[in-house]
C-alpha cells in the first residue's frame, strides 16, 4: 500500500490493541481523523468507552471492546466479532504492551509472565487471529507490530521489556518474509517509537514490580517529560510511513540509526555488553 495517507486508509477498518492509553490512544485518534472505522481494543474497558465517546463526538465511527491480548482465545473472538460486524480489516496494529522495570531476579514471576504474555504473545496471537482472514480476502491490508528503539538496545533494569521487544522485531521480520511467500498484498511493518511522551513510566503502571524499580521508573519518566516527542506528531509520522508502505516505521530515525549502529558494532566486534553512555546517569553510575 502506497500513496496519500488519507487515500490509503479512509473508509477502512483499523484494529488497534492497547487503544485506551499511550501510543495506542494516539494511533486510535489518528485513525479516526483519517476516516477509518476504529476498533478500540483494551484490557481496561472503561478507558476505551471514554475514548469512544470522545471520538464519536468528533464524528468517528468506533467499536470499543474489552480484550486481554495475553489470552489467545480472546483475540480469536475479537477477530470473529470484528469481521462479523464490519467485515475485512485494512489495518491491524498490535500495539498493546507494558513496561516492566527491575533487576531480572527480583521481578516476581507473575509480572514476568504478564509482560511476556502481553508484549510477545499478544502480538503473535493477534497476527494468528487476523492474518488468515486478511489472506482469504485477497485485499490489500497491513499488519503493524509495535517494536521499540529498545529492540536494538540493552539496558539493565529494563531487561523484561527489552527481551520482549527484541522478540517482536524478530517476529515481524520473519512475518514480512512469510507474507512475501504468499504473494498476497499484505504489508508488514515494524513500528519503532523512540522517546515518545506517554504515561508508560507512571508510577501506577509499575504495580507488581520490585521495590527497587521505583527509582528507575521515576528517572525514565522525568527523561521522557524533558526530551520525548509529542504523541500526536509521532502518530502522524507512523501513519504516513505505513501509508508509504515502509517496513521501518520509526518516529525518530536518527535515534534508530544510533542504536542500530551501536548494535552492529557490538556484534561485529563481539564486544562485552556495556551500559549505553546515555543511560549511566539514570543508573547513578556517573556520580
Q: Which residues belong to the active site? A: 161
DSSP string, 170-231: HHHHHHHHHHHHHTS-EEEEEEE--SB--STT-GGGGTTS-TTHHHHHHHHHHHHHHHPBPH
Mapping DSSP to helix (H, G, I), strand (E, B) and coil, where does residue 143 land? strand
Mapping DSSP to helix (H, G, I), strand (E, B) and coil, where does residue 282 land? coil
Other residues' Cβ atoms within 10 Å of the Cβ of residue 255: 17
**Could you tell me the maximum CA-CA distance found in the chain, to the nearest angstrom?**
59
Number of residues in the chain: 287
- Name the grid cell of 66: 474489552
Question: What phi, psi does 101 have (nearest 5°)?
Answer: -120, 155
Which residue blocks in the chain are alpha helix, DSSP H? 5-9, 22-33, 45-57, 72-86, 109-116, 122-137, 159-182, 213-227, 231-243, 253-269, 277-280
CB 144 within 8 A of CB 255: no
CB 61 within 8 A of CB 52: no
Grid cell 504473494 is found at 183
Distances from the Cα of 163 to the Cα of 148, 167, 184, angstroms: 11, 6, 31
Amino acid at each position: 500500500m502506497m500513496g496519500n495517507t488519507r487515500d490509503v486508509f479512509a473508509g477502512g477498518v483499523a484494529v488497534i490493541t492497547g487503544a485506551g492509553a499511550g501510543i495506542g490512544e494516539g494511533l486510535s485518534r489518528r485513525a479516526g481523523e483519517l476516516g477509518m472505522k476504529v476498533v478500540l481494543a483494551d484490557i481496561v474497558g472503561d478507558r476505551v468507552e471514554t475514548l469512544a465517546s470522545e471520538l464519536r463526538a468528533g464524528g468517528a465511527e468506533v467499536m470499543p471492546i474489552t480484550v486481554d491480548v495475553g489470552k489467545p482465545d480472546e483475540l480469536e473472538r475479537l477477530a470473529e466479532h470484528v469481521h462479523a460486524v464490519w467485515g475485512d480489516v485494512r489495518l491491524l496494529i498490535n500495539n498493546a504492551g507494558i513496561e516492566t522495570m527491575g533487576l531480572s531476579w527480583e521481578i516476581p514471576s507473575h509480572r514476568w509472565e504478564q509482560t511476556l504474555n502481553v508484549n510477545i504473545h499478544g502480538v503473535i496471537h493477534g497476527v494468528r487471529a487476523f492474518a488468515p482472514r486478511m489472506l482469504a480476502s485477497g485485499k490489500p491490508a497491513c499488519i503493524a507490530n509495535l517494536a521499540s528503539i529498545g529492540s536494538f538496545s540493552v539496558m539493565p533494569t529494563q531487561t523484561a521489556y527489552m527481551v520482549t521487544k527484541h522478540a517482536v522485531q524478530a517476529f515481524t521480520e520473519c512475518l514480512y518474509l512469510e507474507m512475501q511467500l504468499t504473494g498476497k498484498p499484505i504489508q508488514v511493518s515494524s513500528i519503532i517509537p523512540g522517546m515518545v511522551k506517554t504515561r508508560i513510566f507512571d508510577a501506577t503502571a509499575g504495580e507488581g514490580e520490585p521495590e527497587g524499580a521505583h527509582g528507575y521508573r521515576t528517572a525514565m519518566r522525568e527523561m521522557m517529560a524533558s526530551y520525548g516527542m509529542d504523541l500526536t506528531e509521532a502518530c502522524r509520522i507512523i501513519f504516513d510511513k505505513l501509508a508509504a508502505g515502509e517496513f521501518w516505521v520509526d518516529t525518530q530515525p536518527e535515534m534508530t540509526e544510533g542504536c542500530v549502529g551501536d548494535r552492529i558494532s557490538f556484534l561485529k566486534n563481539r564486544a562485552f555488553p556495556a551500559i549505553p553512555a546515555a543511560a549511566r546517569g539514570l543508573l547513578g553510575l556517573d556520580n
